[in-house]
Amino acid sequence: MRGIRGVGRNRMNKYNIRKATQGLANYIIEHTGELGKEKGVAIAYDCRIDSLENAINTATTLAGNGIKVYLFKSLRTTPELSFAVRKLKTQAGIMITASHNPKEYNGYKVYWEDGAQIVDPPKEYNGYKVYWEDGAQIVDPQAKGIVDAVKAVDIFTGAKYISEKEAIEKNLLVYIDESMDTKYLEAVKKNVINKFVPTRKEFKIVISPLHGTAGRPVKRVLEEIEFENVFVVPEQFEPNGEFPTCAYANPEDTSVFKLSTELADKVGAKLCITNDPDGDRVGIAILDEENKWFYPNGNQIGVLIADYIIRSKQDLAKNATMISTIVSTPLLDTIAKRNGVKTFRTLTGFKY
């Protein structure tokens, strides 16, 4: 669910937030019973205007239905919310965010117990059937059921909710502390392919979260794997839902790199990394051999990553598989095939 903030049935406001949450609560109770209520729901939110208020309204509506809630104390990234769902073994997760959309927007993403976003893909996409790696066609049994449950809720009278204070007193609302950050970043570091890059201590990197949630975790994880020259864009490092330096905080838009490349030129960095407001998109800028900034697109970044992973992992298993999307470059398939790696394609987005 995503839309412009404001008053009305077609806007993001507390009434639609409660309606959506009540529908989800009804679905959880109907399909998982007391176990689902006890497992609960993890909630995170980003830097956007009203995100905290929306998160509280979400939490107190779930609590009003007797469902336990785990709410982050302050803003976090979407990937960490997904991680928390699995780590806490909750029944579902909710991320309050509108991703990279303009500042007027906010949104609401739902995740199931596996940490994956709930989606409702078609059985075919332009005649192209899409399958998971086990050969099963993609389906999402929760999606339609949750949507139907939400539609059945009256926007004004259908939601059950209690106060934040009452939810805490009943032990239905628990705040997630900073220890989850450490667990998440430790899991991230385990996936670092080469922990001993010879030039890591000298190599200079400029990072920017574009006023969003990713600044501190990205800086922390880079420093913990011994990249000692990490520079942040000060004008864009602190969270700000107004996005004062970039009207469209999308790292795919090269204009958002202006402050990053200016700082990089000043400090002598050759790599800039930017993230979108909820930290699940990344863009990079690279200083080329002619000292000009090059902005690789998603396909080019994907090819670089795929080639690097395959080259670095000399002990690839016989069933090694690369998963990409139907809109990704076919060069990925060529690289995989030449290295004996299987390929599967899904619909667009990590949620699939």
Q: Tell me the pLDDT tens digit for each residue of 89-104.
A: 999 999 999 999 999 9
**Contact present, 91 and 99 (Cβ < 8 Å):** no
Q: In total, how many domains does the chain have?
A: 3
Q: Are residues 24 and 162 in the same domain?
A: yes
Q: Are residues 158 and 198 in the same domain?
A: no
Residue 185 located in a structural domain = no
**Contact present, 343 and 320 (Cβ < 8 Å):** no
Residue 183 located in a structural domain = no
Which CATH number goes with the domain that contains 337? 3.40.120.10
Chain segment 284-323, per-residue pLDDT in tens: 999 999 999 999 999 999 999 999 999 988 778 888 999 9
Q: Are residues 251 and 269 in the same domain?
A: yes
The arithmetic mean of pLDDT across residues 224-234, rounded, is 96
**Contact present, 58 and 94 (Cβ < 8 Å):** yes
Beta strands in 52-159 (DSSP E): 69-72, 92-96, 105-107, 109-112, 124-125, 128-129
Q: Are residues 149 and 10 in the same domain?
A: yes
168-171, Cβ contacts within 8 angstroms, sequence gap of 24 or more: 170/63, 171/68
The one catalytic residue in 99, 208, 260, 328 is 99
Q: Is 42 exposed, middle or buried (0-12, 13-18, 19+ CB in 10 A)?
A: buried
Return the pLDDT at 185. 98
Owning domain of residue 288: 192-295
Q: Are residues 285 and 306 in the same domain?
A: no
Is 312 annotated in the active site? Answer: no
Residue 239 located in a structural domain = yes
By C-alpha distance, which of 266, 265, 254, 216 is closest to 236? 216
Q: Are residues 274 and 149 in the same domain?
A: no
The arithmetic mean of pLDDT across residues 249-258, rounded, is 96
Residue 156 located in a structural domain = yes
Q: Are residues 304 and 290 in the same domain?
A: no
Total Cβ atoms within 10 A of residue 72:
20
